[in-house]
Amino acid sequence: MKAIACLRRRDQRGMRIDMLCGKEIRPIASLAIGALVAQWRSEFPVLRTRVHGKPIVYLDNAATTQKPRVVIDAVSRFYAEDNANVHRGVHTLSQRATDAFETARARVKGFLHAAASDEIIFVRGATEAINLVAQGYAGPLLVPGDEILVSAMEHHSNIVPWQKICQQTGAQLRVVPINEAGEFRFPEYARLLSPRTRLVAVTHVSNAVGSVNDIARICAVAHARGIPVLVDGAQAIAHLPVDVRALDCDFYVFSGHKCFGPTGIGVLYGKRARLEAMPPWQVGGDMVRSVSFDRTEYMPIPHRFEAGTPDISGAIGLGAAMDFISTIGLDAIGAHEQQLLDYASGGIARIPGVRIVGTAAHKAGILSFVIDGVHPHDIGSILDRDGIAVRTGHHCAMPAMEHFGLPSGTARASFAFYNTVQEVEQFVQAVHRVQEMFR
């Protein structure tokens, strides 16, 4: 954080002014932060990749993040040295694998500031975690006429599972609207909560436009009426400090691949009382204490929700990713990514015919935009020729795109701490070239 503070002091004294797209842009880089980012980048082998003969500029971090060497090594080391199934094995390799797996659970517990490790459930990703809560928690409680509340900015993974459970039970899905900036509308939220509301499910950070929701406030309003809250933290976990006890959410979910960990691994955090009240969703091996042909007794949490052989290497890799993020520090990460977002937003806003979609006062490092007369897929394809990777389309958030009147979606650049000011400059200049091509 000293480097970040130095960066800001230098900027306030007046650093040099660069010309970008014919406009004056104040740069955000300093030698100190530049050296730090270079050090961070050196940990990611894929960032040395070339695309179409050019160094890759990877700005698709909201879709998935790249993996540092420490995560790759942790996964490789498990398979090379400790590979065995976890739990109940008495031989040495099984005990070592179990220790590494449960140590990873403890690392996630610490990263989220949960009360206990048994509040951490390993799943395949945020999508499976939401389905688990929909089927295991909401399903047994819902009756016809009950309501589940979501927001208009949700990812499909935080819409479709609730639609399905509503169809199964006769409950109804209600939607909290967002304003034209892409912000959660609290007055409407308070009005939509009713005696029939059984659960609120809302994203921490919008994957489509980057809006950051005030989760503590959302939880407080719901809890005042005795309503539990599930938070989709997939886009927040690698960019914002998350303290589930301070937020007071009942459930928090995220995917490992969004926070520099492996694919196919994710986490469901749940308050102990909520988890203990839930029946298991998937059943089978390793989540049972005893089985006969007459009855089955299930294991306590967290194991009752982890049927079958888990993704052991994925959990170990996720634990390594948690440690890696903690070493850098989420405050430093957030400060750097905010600087990148501000710099990119300023540059994009100065290009004629280009419009930023999502202008919330509080945003994470996600920049969605459209160019007049240009399909988002064309934008992405042309940028790819310059080695610049962005996401295009509806971003698995069709209702949000419909809200903004954009059926074809947007182009989306999303930043991580390993991105640089120079990469942002390349991106802005490339967008300017696309705009000129179609002018």
Domain coordinates of the chain in residue numbers? 2-59+329-437, 71-326
Phi, psi values for residue 251, rounded to 5°: -140, 145
Q: Burial level of 439, CB count in 10 A (0-12/13-18/19+)?
A: exposed
CA-CA distance, 74 to 339, in Å (whole number)? 31
Using left for φ > 0, alpha for ψ between -120 and 50, and beta otherwise, residue 77 falls in alpha
Q: How far apart are CA 146 and CA 428, in angstroms?
A: 48
Give the per-residue pLDDT at 8. 32
User: Directed axis angle between helix 126-133 and helix 160-169, to 10°?
Assistant: 20
> What is the biggest distance separating any 2 CA atoms in the chain, rounded to whole angstroms?
77
- Beta-bridge mates of residue 20: 23
pLDDT reported for residue 331: 94
CATH code at 2-59+329-437 = 3.90.1150.10
Q: What share of the chain has pLDDT > 90, as a percent?
A: 91
| Tens-place pLDDT, residues 191-235 | 999 999 999 999 999 999 999 999 999 999 999 999 999 999 999
What CA–CA distances, in Å, run from 212 to 39, 127, 209?
A: 28, 20, 9
- Name the least confident of 7-11, 195-199, 249-253, 433-437: 7-11
The mean of the pLDDT values for the chain is: 93
Q: Evaluate if residue 375 carries a pLDDT over 80.
A: yes
Strands 54-55 and 296-298: unpaired
Half-sphere exposure of 348 (CA within 13 A, CB side): 23
* CATH class entry, domain 71-326: alpha beta
356 burial via Cβ count (<10 Å: 0-12, 13-18, 19+): middle
The better pLDDT of the pair 368, 15 is held by 368
Tell me the three state secondary structure of residue 187: helix
This prediction's pTM: 0.92
d(CA 291, CA 127): 29
- Sign of the CA dihedral running 111, 115, 117, 119: negative
- Sequence-separated (6 or more) residues with CB below 8 Å from residue 95: 89
pLDDT at 303 over 70: yes
Residue 334 pLDDT: 96
> Among candidates 226, 264, 355, 261, which has minimal Cα distance to 73?
261
Q: Are the C-beta atoms of 214 and 391 separated by less than 8 Å?
A: no
Q: Are 334 and 239 in contact (CB under 8 A)?
A: yes
pLDDT at residue number 30: 52
Q: What is the model's pLDDT at position 31?
A: 54
Catalytic residue among 166, 219, 259, 396: 396
**Whether 6 is catalytic:** no
Q: Any bridge partners for residue 411, and if so which? A: 369, 392
- Tell me how far CA of residue 83 lies from CA of 69, 91, 121, 123, 322, in angstroms: 20, 12, 21, 20, 21
Q: Are 262 and 272 in contact (CB under 8 A)?
A: no
